[in-house]
Homo-oligomer: A and B are copies of this chain.
Amino acid sequence: MVNRAATGSARAPRRKDGLSRERIIRTAIEILDSGGEKALTLRALTVRLGTGYGAIYHHVEDKGDLLATATDEVVTGVLSGVVAEADPRAALRGLALGLFDAVDAHPWVGAELSRQPWRPGLLDFYESVGRLVAALGVPEHARVDAAGTLVNHVLGVAAQNAATARLLTDGDTGADTDTDGNTDREAFLGDAAARWARVDPARYPFVHAAAARLGEHDDREQFAFGVDIFLTGIAALR
Contacts of A199 in B (CB 8 A): 123
Q: How far is the CA of A134 from the CA of B230 in the complex (A)?
A: 18
**Docked complex: A143-195 residues within 8 A CB-CB of B:** 143-149, 152-153, 155-157, 159-160, 163, 166, 192
Q: How far is the CA of A76 from the CA of B83 in the complex (A)?
A: 44
Instruction: Tell me how far the C-beta of A65 lies from the nearest C-beta in chain B, rounded to whole angstroms.
Output: 15
* Contact across chains for A145 and B230 when beta carbons are under 8 A apart: no
Between A149, A192, A213, A225, the greatest number of chain B beta carbons within 10 A of the residue's beta carbon is seen for A149
**Secondary structure class of chain A's binding surface, majority of residues:** helix
* Known pairs A160-B114, A160-B152, A226-B145; A130 contacts B206 (CB<8 A): yes
Task: Name the CB-closest residue of B to A141.
Answer: B213
Task: Name the CB-closest residue of B to A192.
Answer: B118
Q: How far is the CA of A86 from the CA of B114 in the complex (A)?
A: 35
Task: Name the CB-closest residue of B to A124.
Answer: B204
Q: How far is the CA of A131 from the CA of B209 in the complex (A)?
A: 11
State how many residues of chain A have any CB contact under 8 Å with chain B.
Answer: 53
A52 at the interface (CB under 8 A from B): no
* Contact across chains for B207 and A123 when beta carbons are under 8 A apart: yes
Q: How far is the CA of A228 from the CA of B206 in the complex (A)?
A: 22
**Docked complex: A49-101 residues within 8 A CB-CB of B:** none
* Contact across chains for B230 and A159 when beta carbons are under 8 A apart: no
Task: Name the CB-closest residue of B to A149.
Answer: B226
A31 at the interface (CB under 8 A from B): no
Q: How far is the CA of A233 from the CA of B89 in the complex (A)?
A: 14
* Contact across chains for A229 and B146 when beta carbons are under 8 A apart: yes
**Residue from B152, B160, B210, B231 in contact with A233 in the complex, judged by beta carbons closer than 8 Å:** B231
* Contact across chains for A204 and B153 when beta carbons are under 8 A apart: no
* Known pairs A114-B156, A117-B163, A143-B206; A232 contacts B222 (CB<8 A): no
**Residue from B114, B144, B163, B225 in contact with A210 in the complex, judged by beta carbons closer than 8 Å:** B144
A115 at the interface (CB under 8 A from B): yes
Given contacts A130-B210, A228-B233, A232-B232, 5 further A-B contacts (CB under 8 A): A126-B207, A127-B203, A153-B156, A229-B234, A233-B234
* Top 5 A-B pairs, shortest CB-CB distance: A156-B156, A130-B206, A233-B233, A229-B233, A149-B226
